[in-house]
Amino acid sequence: MALFDKLDLARMLGPLPDRAAPVAHGARHFVNGQPLDPPFPVGTEDVFFGMGCFWGAERKFWQAGDGVHVTAVGYAGGTTRNATYEDVCTGRTGHAEVVRVVYFPAALSFDSLLKLFWESHDPTQGMRQGNDVGTQYRSAIYTTTPAQRAAAEASRAAYQRVLTDAGYGAITTQIAPAPPFFYAEAYHQQYLAKNPGGYCGLGGTGVACPAGPLGA
């Protein structure tokens, strides 16, 4: 089904109802053994990145360095509480597939996470990422502090300039305060560590994101 047909059908049918209980998502990170659920250590912050299929996206961030405390995948930005993967794939929940990144800002700067985000996918594709098509594959940054949001918006402007120079169109990335986050099913968590030969559709533009404070 074409993307616009699917979007039109989703709009016609309306949002899916909430589910009463969250899906079982497991207790600990498969790679580093840290608890997936809060409370998280004092001194950490979290942020949520949507950049296409969350399998490859999560791997990018758990490999980002010792400053990352834990990562987890789930759904955010939609209307259906406790949505399942099957629910999200209908396009009727409004959710994006996202990675929760819990990190220590004293050890790993937010600007470095933003650089990894921008360079690891194509943020100009709208409701898709490569061959993955649908609302859940949109590009998004859901922030948890005003400073994060300001940095994200500044880096978007900086990256737009270099993308434009390289012949790309407008960035479609949504930047907004973090909405409710719903963990994805246990088999999605750290999927590419459990299945090293698994599918990863992640691919960047090859255009470097400007480095420095706030992407300047």
Angle 42-48-50 (CA atoms, 0-180°, nearest 5)?
160
Reference 144, options 38, 53, 6, 48; nearest CA is 48
Give alpha helix (H) positions in 29-90: 54-62, 85-89
Q: Which of 53, 89, 200, 209 is catalytic?
A: 53
Q: What are the residues whose beta carbons fall under 8 Å from the beta carbon of 165, sequence distance 6 or more?
A: none
Q: What are the residues whose beta carbons fall under 8 Å from the beta carbon of 95, sequence distance 6 or more?
A: 75, 76, 77, 78, 80, 83, 88, 135, 136, 182
Q: Can you tell me the distance from the alpha carbon of 191 to that of 186, in angstroms, rounded to the nearest whole number? A: 9
User: What is the residue type of 84?
Assistant: T
Is 209 designated active site?
no
User: What is the residue type of 199?
Assistant: Y
Q: Which residues are catalytic?
A: 53
